[in-house]
Amino acid sequence: MINFRQMIAVLLEEVLEGLGRDEIAAMVEIPAESRMGDYAFPCFRLAKAMRKAPPLIAAEVAGKLGGAGAEIFEKTEAVGGYVNMFLKKDVLLSAVVAEALEKGDAYGSSEMGRGRKVVVEFSSPNIAKPFHIGHIRSTVIGNAINNLYSFMGYDTVRVNHLGDYGTQFGKMIVAYRKWGSREDVENQPIKTLLEYYTRFHEEAEKDASLEEEARLAFARLEQGAVEERELWQWFRDESLKEFSRVYAMLGIGFDSYAGESFYSDKMGRVLDLLREKGLLAESEGAQIVDLEAWDMPPALITKKDGSTLYITRDIAAAIYRKEHYDFYKNIYVVASQQNLHFRQWIKVIELMGFDWAGDCEHIPFGLVSLEDGVMSTRAGRVVFLEDVLNRAVERTREIVIEKNVNTDNIDETARQVGIGAVIFQELSNSKIKDYVFSWDKILNFEGETGPYVQYSHARACSVLRRDAGPEGRLAEAAACGNGATGLDLSYIAGESAYELAKALYRFPEAVVEAGEKYEPSILTRHVVDVAQAFNKFYHDEHILVENEDEKLAKLALTAAARQVIRNGLRLLGMEAPERM
């Protein structure tokens, strides 16, 4: 497709002195209001070098640019210190419609990441603990980031770094031995194990010896004791069955479930490397790396009893991933609570002499709390994610029946829209913001929501379906025969059609920006913009007119809008119903 920003940069390079093409391209802006043009160039930086006031420079540049860019500009004008540029509508419409229909599911994708591997670690719940609403953030944000990077041409590896190791397993083993029932665990694994874990902490407040008993149980697990190992493996297997059910509901898969336990036999090498580099120091019997020079507390590598910690296992995991995948980026989608932890271990990796430490990136996000306070696994105060998804589907089913929604499969539509509503809600706001979980907000389908965007897609499908003739012809099939060259786009010269075309054109830019900033909400916002622009076009224009050329042009733009909405929803991890 035509890269208008680059074309403008080339034209301006001929007019301006002292600025390179890339620098000019970076300065080109998109005005906040359409009446100010499609693109704008600020001239304020040029005032000193050219010894002229910005408005005078803008007037001069606008005049020269209008002639040089006659093929793409309808007009150029100077407003204050800006050069405002208005594209020719037919040029933009033709480029957008042709490419969207030709590329289809690949529209908006690129090859910028070709030959580069990106590891994305996300979700990572703890074995034998609830998969609760707090986990949805890492899960859906990480999935969207993975999808974006894959769409940009990177070879992505989705890693679920399960919390399947650590002292909590000693506690779980002790609790199961004292109060457990195999039948109860097999019937309701997570809820039953949560009850055991909660009871352990209640009892430990009355009997401190339980903590030591749990520590010894974990030590035996680390040493490979048969009974402890078998219990741990059973807890892990039963937990994964439940986790897998939730991932299936969300439509999310992983390439690796290598959790903390996977690196238990790789700790020795890490400790040896740290000693070789002279980084380890003893502190009250424990082994640490002193990070005072970098204004951080010491990184605790091993406890007094020699057992390892999260940071040791994360160091081992990073080394393994670099050697196994040779990543270009190693991305960790983990809550902002862990900011210090990531700063510490990435610094340790750097001190160990690994020049790829800077390729490890922590993508933090805000926390979820309940309306009556923070969640606590120890206290048993959690909202199970599966319950949230099921309730969203049930509520959506009620709405579908109540509103007599046009669907030939009520249950399927309820599933697609209900789960989509939860995902979209999570990805709508900046990932770093904390928020309070509210059933009312999650299940609110009004306004700029997932169901609104999905409905817009279904509406476009309906328009195209109504045009299907006896032979089942779809408008985009006719348009795709020779791109958009066979269309008379003068029929869709209305302002709403042009605003829709601009939103479709900017979709690839939104994909790249969302990916490079690790911010899916940028894409979410843009998909809403496309949906709103399409609905305005739908209301302003009569699409299924008698004139075949006019109808085909309008249907082609409708098909392009449908394609972009579908692509956006897919990147966010949502489905695009064709009937609603």
Provide the pLDDT confidence category of residue 480 given band limits of 50, 70 and 90. Answer: very low
CA distance 504 to 388: 33
The total domain count for the chain is 2
pLDDT, residue 374, reads 56
Known active-site residue 132: yes
- Alpha helical stretches, state H, 80-208: 89-103, 136-151, 167-179, 182-187, 189-206
Strand partners, 360: 330
Domain assignment present for residue 257? The answer is no
Residue 276's Cβ-count burial label (10 Å; 0-12, 13-18, 19+) is exposed
Quickly count: other Cβ atoms within 10 Å of residue 217's Cβ. 24
Note down the domain range covering 558. Answer: 396-411+419-572
Mean pLDDT of 462-491: 59
pLDDT at 500 over 90: yes
Strand partners, 294: none
CA distance 106 to 251: 20
CA neighbor of 395 nearest in space, from 420, 363, 365, 361: 420
- Furthest CA-CA distance within the chain: 86
**Strand runs (DSSP E) across 15-69, as ranges?**
39-42
The residue from 87, 102, 126 where one domain ends is 87
pLDDT, residue 472, reads 37
Domain assignment present for residue 137? The answer is no
Domain assignment present for residue 482? The answer is yes
Q: Which one of 103, 117, 135, 324 is the catalytic residue?
A: 135
pLDDT, residue 190, reads 87
Residues 259-271 pLDDT 10s: 999 998 899 999 9
The residue from 55, 72, 87 where one domain ends is 87
Q: pTM score, two decimals?
A: 0.91
SS3 sequence of 468-489: CCCCCCCHHHHHHEEEECCCCH
pLDDT, residue 473, reads 42
pLDDT at 154 over 70: yes
User: Are residues 217 and 173 in contact, defined by beta-carbon separation less than 8 angstroms?
Assistant: yes
Provide the pLDDT confidence category of residue 483 given band limits of 50, 70 and 90. Answer: very low
Instruction: Assign 397 to helix, strand or coil.
Output: helix
What the block records as the tokens of 162 is 């399960």
Provide the pLDDT confidence category of residue 67 given band limits of 50, 70 and 90. Answer: confident
- Tell me which of 435 and 255 has the higher pLDDT: 255
Residues 204-218 pLDDT 10s: 999 999 999 998 998
Contacts for 276 with CB less than 8 Å, ≥ 6 apart: none
pLDDT, residue 482, reads 41
pLDDT at 228 over 90: yes
The pair phi, psi for residue 265, each rounded to 5°, is: -90, 5
Domain assignment present for residue 338? The answer is no
CATH number for 27: 3.30.1360.70
Mean pLDDT of 185-196: 89
The pair phi, psi for residue 94, each rounded to 5°, is: -60, -45
Element (H, E) at 524: helix 520-540
User: Are residues 62 and 83 in contact, defined by beta-carbon separation less than 8 angstroms?
Assistant: yes
Contacts for 231 with CB less than 8 Å, ≥ 6 apart: 173, 176
Mean pLDDT of 64-83: 92
Domain assignment present for residue 221? The answer is no
Strands 329-333 and 360-363: parallel
CA neighbor of 513 nearest in space, from 266, 223, 145, 206: 145
pLDDT, residue 370, reads 67
Mean pLDDT of 144-152: 98
CATH number for 485: 1.10.730.10
Instruction: Assign 304 to helix, strand or coil.
Output: coil
pLDDT at 156 over 90: yes
Q: Which one of 75, 88, 132, 171 is the catalytic residue?
A: 132
CA distance 23 to 7: 13
Mean pLDDT of 237-257: 94
Instruction: Calculate the CA 204 to chain-centre distance.
Output: 40
Element (H, E) at 278: none
Domain assignment present for residue 491? The answer is yes
Domain assignment present for residue 525? The answer is yes
Mean pLDDT of 341-355: 97
The residue from 54, 87, 120 where one domain ends is 87
- Tell me which of 439 and 52 has the higher pLDDT: 52
pLDDT, residue 223, reads 86
Residue 509's Cβ-count burial label (10 Å; 0-12, 13-18, 19+) is middle
Provide the pLDDT confidence category of residue 308 given band limits of 50, 70 and 90. Answer: confident
Domain assignment present for residue 242? The answer is no
Residue 32's Cβ-count burial label (10 Å; 0-12, 13-18, 19+) is exposed
Provide the pLDDT confidence category of residue 468 given band limits of 50, 70 and 90. Answer: low
pLDDT, residue 477, reads 41
Using CA atoms in the order 226, 228, 233, 236, what is the torsion angle rounded to 10 degrees?
-170
pLDDT, residue 132, reads 86
pLDDT, residue 89, reads 92
Strand partners, 77: 84
CA distance 109 to 146: 13
Q: Within 13 Å, how many C-alpha atoms sit on residue 411's CB side?
A: 0
Known active-site residue 129: yes
- Percent of the chain at pLDDT > 70 equals 94
- Tell me which of 132 and 321 has the higher pLDDT: 321
CA distance 488 to 336: 53
CA distance 77 to 69: 13
Mean pLDDT of 26-38: 93
CA distance 527 to 109: 15
Mean pLDDT of 486-491: 82
Residues 520-569 pLDDT 10s: 999 999 999 999 999 999 999 999 999 989 999 999 999 999 999 999 99
Element (H, E) at 286: strand 286-289
pLDDT at 131 over 90: no
Mean pLDDT of 502-525: 97
Q: Which one of 129, 171, 322, 526 is the catalytic residue?
A: 129
pLDDT, residue 486, reads 66
Residues 372-419 pLDDT 10s: 655 555 555 678 899 889 999 999 999 999 988 888 899 999 999 999
Q: What is residue 298's DSSP assignment?
A: P
Mean pLDDT of 64-72: 89
Using CA atoms in the order 99, 100, 101, 103, what is the torsion angle rounded to 10 degrees?
70
User: Are residues 375 and 383 in contact, defined by beta-carbon separation less than 8 angstroms?
Assistant: yes
Residue 115's Cβ-count burial label (10 Å; 0-12, 13-18, 19+) is exposed
